[in-house]
Structure 1
């Protein structure tokens, strides 16, 4: 399990509160992380030895779904012998280039790689604190609907402060994966 992106103490300082309920603060931080990961469609945290399954596109370049890529250990096409490291090239942006031609169309490509940030980028942490802070300040206004029979409650993310603002989306944009790898 990856370390939390922020601590309850950091949230307390962000909100300028004298004290904070650490369990509730940790819950708000975890919820903010989930919202941000969902928006970015990225794991963000460092992962070693991830097996990524892709489908060949008939082009020389294929995109890995997570960024940044920090290492590629192997590339296997249709379960056969792994390609030699001289047969492909990769970069931190997740671009995997086949140097001997094109990736076979509709082939099953398995890439064993490391990806993510060992140190969380400061802008991502700041947005996490902002989202968790809004959720902390406005917890009770998130109720959008409530029923009495069989007890049904619906929450609205815009009202709880968990929805990302346009400004926050612009800050996070460099950390999102591109449209071709979705």
Structure 2
């Protein structure tokens, strides 16, 4: 499991509170991470030797789903291995280029690669603190439905502060998955 992007103490300082319930703060921070990962369609944290199965497009370039790419270990085309520098090349932006032709149309392309950030970029950490901070402040005002039997609460993400603002989405755009991967 990856380390949290921010600590309850950092959330306390962000909110300028004298004290904070560390357990509840950790929950709000984890929820903020989940929201951000969902919006970016990225895991963000460093992952070693992840496997992606892509489909050949008949073109020279495929886009890997997670960024940034830090290493490509194996590339198989219908179970036949390709060699780096003669069969393919890759870059940190997730572009996997076939050097000796095109990726066969509808072929299974299996890629074992590493991706993500070992140190979370400051802008992502800041948005995480902002989202968790809004959720902390608005958590009691976001209830949209409540039941009594077996107790059930429903929260509105917009009212809870967990929805990302247009500004946050704009500053996170460089960390989003590219359109060719979707």
- TM-score, with length taken from structure 1: 0.96
CA deviation profile, 1:76-125 (whole Å, cap 9, x unmatched) = 01112x10112101000000000001000111111011100011000000
For the residue of structure 2 that corresponds to 1:140, the secondary structure is coil
In structure 2, the gaps of 5 or more residues are none
In structure 1, the gaps of 5 or more residues are none
Q: Could you tell me which residue of structure 2 aligns to residue 102 of structure 1?
A: 102
CA distance in 2 between partners of 1:155 and 1:21 (Å): 20
In the alignment of these two chains, the number of paired residues is: 181
Q: Could you tell me which residue of structure 2 aligns to residue 136 of structure 1?
A: 136
CA distance in 2 between partners of 1:126 and 1:171 (Å): 11
Displacement of 1:129 in angstroms is 0.2
Q: Could you tell me which residue of structure 1 aligns to residue 41 of structure 2?
A: 41
Q: Could you tell me which residue of structure 1 aligns to residue 69 of structure 2?
A: 69
Q: Could you tell me which residue of structure 2 aligns to residue 146 of structure 1?
A: 146
Displacement of 1:153 in angstroms is 2.9
Runs of 4 or more, structure 1, over 4 Å off, are 148-152
CA distance in 2 between partners of 1:154 and 1:84 (Å): 52
Displacement of 1:140 in angstroms is 0.7
- TM-score, with length taken from structure 2: 0.96
CA distance in 1 between partners of 2:10 and 2:135 (Å): 15
CA distance in 2 between partners of 1:13 and 1:127 (Å): 15
CA distance in 1 between partners of 2:151 and 2:72 (Å): 50
